Amino acid sequence: MLDLLVHDATLPDGRTGMSIAVQDGRIAEVTAGLDAPAAEKLDAQGFLVTPHFIDPHFHMDATLSYGLPRVNESGTLLEGIALWGELKPLLTAEALIERALAYCDWAVAKGLLAIRSHVDTSDPSLLAVDALLEVKRRVAPYLDLQLVAFPQDGVLRSPAGVENLKRSLDKGVDVVGGIPHFERTMADGAASVKLLCEIAAERGKLVDMHCDESDDPLSRHIETLAFEAQRLGMQGRVTGSHCTSMHSMDNYYVSKLLPLIAESGVGVVSNPLINITLQGRHDTYPKRRGMTRVPELTAAGVNVAFGHDCVMDPWYGMGSGDMLEVAHMGLHVAQMTSQHGIRQCFDAVTVNAAKVFHLEGYGLEAGCDASFVLLQARDPVEAIRLRAARLKVYRKGRLLAETPAATAALHLPGRAAETGWMIPRG
């Protein structure tokens, strides 16, 4: 007797009429038209079942703090960092934990079950680190939270930056972060990349740096990150986040850079909602978009994922933990409007993000965790277009969240009584 049998599911690869058999929290079998006794049966009605969403880049220590102590009036990255500096002395562990847990509720309801969050390690009290380690422990039954030691004020620029980062790792933070473009000089930025990669290599940790979150075409720390990843044998274990300067770089230089990144096995995380909002702020017109070169990186063989980065914090006042909204913005900004491009944007918040995360047991195959989402959409393209309702969210075979189908009742002469914004299919 199975624990759960999903039938008539469409899968992201296009297979229809599929059954998913679940036993002991794992997928036992994925096959067409299976019928077997099960404690729970779910009729997917031809809708899309996808592995859950993953956010590979977030800041949970700042989330839901919008307006504390004031809002970011200029909307720039630098005012956001200054505002975060004003907020930090006012933070309490209790309030931070409460906001983070509330965000995780939102995330689960949106089918987002794994989040990589940076946590600011600049403050010697490490209050945010301790608070998010506590959150990680509390949400573990329903959400994978991976933490990155993030020296927001610059690991070399801030007093005791290196020591605070190492103390955070000692406490159990998973990944080594950095912010080379915020160090005092280009040389210091490069030195920080080398130092932080060496710390990670020594401790067997992954690396994920905020890298070149700037419109300065000469911000080239991604080159150093790729070089260090290769030198230290860390292929597949290093991520460059944002990489927005690549938008503004000289094309000839980029033609050398892309193969270098691919060769180093460095992955790239772009954050479309934030990049389109924060970049280009020093421009008059035309205004640059500032997002990194997603199609070109992908074509070069680089693993590219999309992150949410911020939700209602000093940098961004919008968001609800919806990775389909992230993918939607990504495809617009990168003009990835072909069917193939849109599906790549869906991959960027699912399978590609899982690679960044090094998440085990992810996928819709026998042996994977039974962690999936039933969407009110018939394929990944429709899912992004509609930011489709997450009808059911399962983790390891357990139902975590449900959302009613989104339909509007219509009162129109001679027309159907309702619409779900889907093109009629013959």
What does the binding site for Fe ion look like in residue numbers (CB under 5 A)?
A: 309
Is 213 among the residues known to form the active site?
Answer: yes
- Comparison of 242 and 343: residue with beta carbon closer to Fe ion: 242
Question: What is the closest distance, in whole angstroms, from the C-beta atom of residue 283 to Fe ion in the complex?
Answer: 21
Picking from 120, 146, 139, 181, the residue whose alpha carbon sits closest to that of residue 307 is: 146
Which phi and psi (to 5°) does residue 104 adopt?
A: -65, -35
Distance of CA 220 to the CA centre of its chain: 23
Question: What is the closest distance, in whole angstroms, from the C-beta atom of residue 65 to Fe ion in the complex?
Answer: 15
Of the residues 29, 86, 163, 213, only one is catalytic, namely 213
Question: What is the closest distance, in whole angstroms, from the C-beta atom of residue 319 to Fe ion in the complex?
Answer: 13
Question: What is the closest distance, in whole angstroms, from the C-beta atom of residue 189 to Fe ion in the complex?
Answer: 16
Question: In angstroms, rounded to a whole number, what is the distance separating the alpha carbons of residues 52 and 372?
Answer: 5
Q: Any idea what DSSP says for residue 312?
A: S
| Backbone torsion region of residue 25, taken as left when φ is above 0, otherwise alpha when ψ lies between -120 and 50, otherwise beta | left
Question: In angstroms, rounded to a whole number, what is the distance separating the alpha carbons of residues 196 and 219?
Answer: 18
Question: What is the closest distance, in whole angstroms, from the C-beta atom of residue 118 to Fe ion in the complex?
Answer: 6
Which phi and psi (to 5°) does residue 340 adopt?
A: -65, -45
- Comparison of 313 and 369: residue with beta carbon closer to Fe ion: 313
9 bridge partner residues: 18
- Comparison of 61 and 309: residue with beta carbon closer to Fe ion: 309
Q: Which helix (H) or strand (E) holds 182?
A: none
Question: What is the closest distance, in whole angstroms, from the C-beta atom of residue 41 to Fe ion in the complex?
Answer: 42
Supply 248's token pair: 């503004």
Q: How far is CA 100 from CA 61, 210, 294, 312, in A?
A: 7, 21, 30, 12
- Comparison of 174 and 309: residue with beta carbon closer to Fe ion: 309
- Comparison of 42 and 312: residue with beta carbon closer to Fe ion: 312
Supply 282's token pair: 């020093």
- Comparison of 314 and 380: residue with beta carbon closer to Fe ion: 314
Q: What is the dihedral of CA 134, 140, 141, 143, to 10 degrees?
A: 120
Supply 223's token pair: 């080159």
Total residue length of the chain: 426
Supply 206's token pair: 């992954």
Just list the catalytic residues.
Answer: 213
